[in-house]
Amino acid sequence: MNTVKIAPSLLAADFGNLQKDIEMVNQSEAAWHHLDIMDGLFVPNISYGMPVVKAIAKFAKKPLDAHLMIVDPDRYIQTFADLGVYLLTVHYEACTHLHRTIQAIKSSGMKAGVALNPHTNVELLKNIIGDLDLVLIMSVNPGFGGQSFIPNTYDKIRTLKQMIKEHKAAALIEVDGGVSMENAAKLINAGADVLVAGSSVFKSKNPSGTITELSRATNT
């Protein structure tokens, strides 16, 4: 049995005291720091940009998992590589030449991921699955933290897991949006390898304890 990775989303952290929340993640059982970059065009919200990522990178001790919710992400691949990002995920819906974008991410030394909106069929990744390090399945419409989990995610994970197996591919499956102890075990059971959690971690009384609980959600 593989242990699931937990990637707390800093979007739900205290922006007045980011260092404190980053250090909580450093000390916790989290695997990665999840960074949500929004441009107000691809999604109806703006989160934070390069100076904040630079500040996060200064204190973060775990790999940076950056989720770009921006149009034309090719423009910033090298910038994120220079900032020390470990894994860069772009949206399927934002890339006209996805294969080229993925190769560019890898040539810049980062791992490459593709995110799918809730309406996007996982079958669309058939011809590129072997090139991906990760597929991020959005379980809410991207743009905001604290939204309700969309249940068709379970089927998408199962279909994707099957596709990865058939292609003998190595891509990890990450699930992002509305993840909590209510659905963690079921997501792991369906085949999720990485769980992103914002509100359920940072709004809990004991964020570090919640990360531990999520990472041990039993997958039976």
What SS3 class is residue 202? helix
Q: 147 contacts which partner out of ligand DX5, Zn ion, none, CB within 5 to 8 A by kind?
A: ligand DX5
Q: Which listed residue (133, 174, 176, 213) binds Zn ion by CB under 5 A?
A: 176
Partner touching 140 among Zn ion, ligand DX5, none, CB below 5 to 8 Å by kind: ligand DX5
Q: What are phi and psi of 84, to 5 degrees?
A: 95, 20
36 assigned to active site:
yes
Nearest to 78, CA basis, from 37, 50, 98:
50
Among residues 6, 7, 28, 36, which is the contact residue for Zn ion, using CB under 5 A?
Answer: 36
Q: What angle do CA 156, 6, 215 make, to 5 degrees?
A: 100
Q: Which of residues 64-93 bind ligand DX5 (CB under 6 A)?
A: 67
Candidates 39, 133, 176, 193; catalytic one? 176
- Candidates 147, 204, 208, 212; binder of ligand DX5 (CB under 6 A) is 147
Spatial CA neighbour of 50 closest among 85, 93, 24, 87: 85
CB of 141 to ligand DX5, least distance (A): 8
Note whether 65 binds Zn ion by CB under 5 A.
no
SS3 210: helix
Per-residue binding string, ligand DX5, 158-177, x by CB under 6 A, is ------------------xx
Q: Is 176 a catalytic residue?
A: yes
148 φ/ψ angles, rounded to the nearest 5 degrees: -80, 140
End-to-end CA distance of the chain: 10
